[in-house]
Amino acid sequence: MRFRTVLTRAAAVGAAALLAVTALTACGNDDTAAADNPYGLLQPGVIRAGTLTDAPPNVFLKDGKFTGFDNELLRAVADKIGLKVEFVGTDFSGLLAQVNSGKFDVGSSSITITEARKKTVDFGNGYDFGYFGLDVPAGSSITGFDQLTGKRVVVVQGTVQDDYATKQNLDPVRVPDYNSAINQLKAGTADAWIAPAEIGDKSAADSNGKIKVAAKQLSPTPTAYAVAKGDDKLREALNKGLDEVIADGTWSRLQAEYYPGRPVPADFKPGSGSVAVPSPSAAS
């Protein structure tokens, strides 16, 4: 009986030692994983970004590559913090929820910061300003935003333009993407489209005279990259990288490349607002 007790105690001590070693090993593995992936990305070293495919010059596909001002800026920001970017196309209406659920690390799609959207995601510092554009079919008599009451106004669902139209009691027609809005104008099934101005400009220019820009107005808040709620490490890293690409002239160069001739409002300060913005000529 004594012999069996000694064996039992020895086995218990051995098991405890094994558990301790296992626990230490597990902790070591956790520490290594955290060091390899400090921002908790879906894939270490790579930002998986949800974006759109049909919204030039902001975000779009060209020759099978995701590009546009927002996406090229994100590549430059990611490079500053030692990361790559993998873009995946999605619809804007589901983008913010997909970011917060962990399907994407970042949302990149000229996302205007609003109080309502802050309930779903967190935002980095603003990197761009924006205008609302009012696109109408060629030959339309509409010349301003104050002439939309009673008209069939199309918006992309979930956008800040959707919010604006709803607050103006316009009862907008909601579509899933920009191509759907453009097609409604071309077909004459919509009287007007409230769009991000740069996208509206490009769409009108590419419409072979079927669409024209009737008016523009400045959006009251900036656009920013979206991250999941509470993802402070990634958000702060993106803010740091953004300030760096502002300081080295990349932001100004991309502005000049994708928005040629568009003046930057005097009171708009990208990033943290503490970094001097080189002129496009100094940045080139």
Q: Are residues 203 and 71 in the same domain?
A: no
Enter the pTM of the model.
0.73
The answer to the question of residue 20 being in a domain is no
The answer to the question of residue 186 being in a domain is yes
The answer to the question of residue 22 being in a domain is no
pLDDT digits (tens, 9 = 90+) for 11-57: 555 555 555 545 555 555 556 667 889 999 999 999 999 999 999 99
Indicate the pairing of strand 106-112 with strand 46-51.
parallel
| CATH classification at residue 276 | 3.40.190.10
Which residues share a beta bridge with 84? Answer: 46
The answer to the question of residue 160 being in a domain is yes
pLDDT digits (tens, 9 = 90+) for 92-144: 989 999 999 999 999 999 999 998 999 999 999 999 998 899 999 999 999 99
Structural domain span for residue 161 = 131-218
Q: Are residues 123 and 231 in the same domain?
A: yes
Look up tokens 């996208």; give the residue: 199
> What is the count of structural domains for the chain?
2
Most confident listed range (146-155, 194-203, 216-225): 146-155
pLDDT digits (tens, 9 = 90+) for 174-190: 999 999 999 999 999 99
Indicate the pairing of strand 59-62 with strand 65-67.
antiparallel
The answer to the question of residue 19 being in a domain is no
Q: Euclidean distance between the first and final Cα of the chain, in Å?
A: 87
The answer to the question of residue 13 being in a domain is no
Burial status of residue 22 (CB atoms within 10 A of its CB: 0-12, 13-18, 19 or more): exposed
Distance of CA 20 to the CA centre of its chain: 45
Q: How confident is the model at residue 3 (pLDDT cuts 50, 70, 90)?
A: very low
Q: Which of 161, 192, 218 is the last residue of a domain?
A: 218
Q: Which of 172, 200, 218 is the last residue of a domain?
A: 218
The answer to the question of residue 192 being in a domain is yes
Q: Which residues contact 188 (CB under 8 A, 6 or more apart)?
A: 137
pLDDT digits (tens, 9 = 90+) for 54-76: 999 999 999 999 999 999 999 99
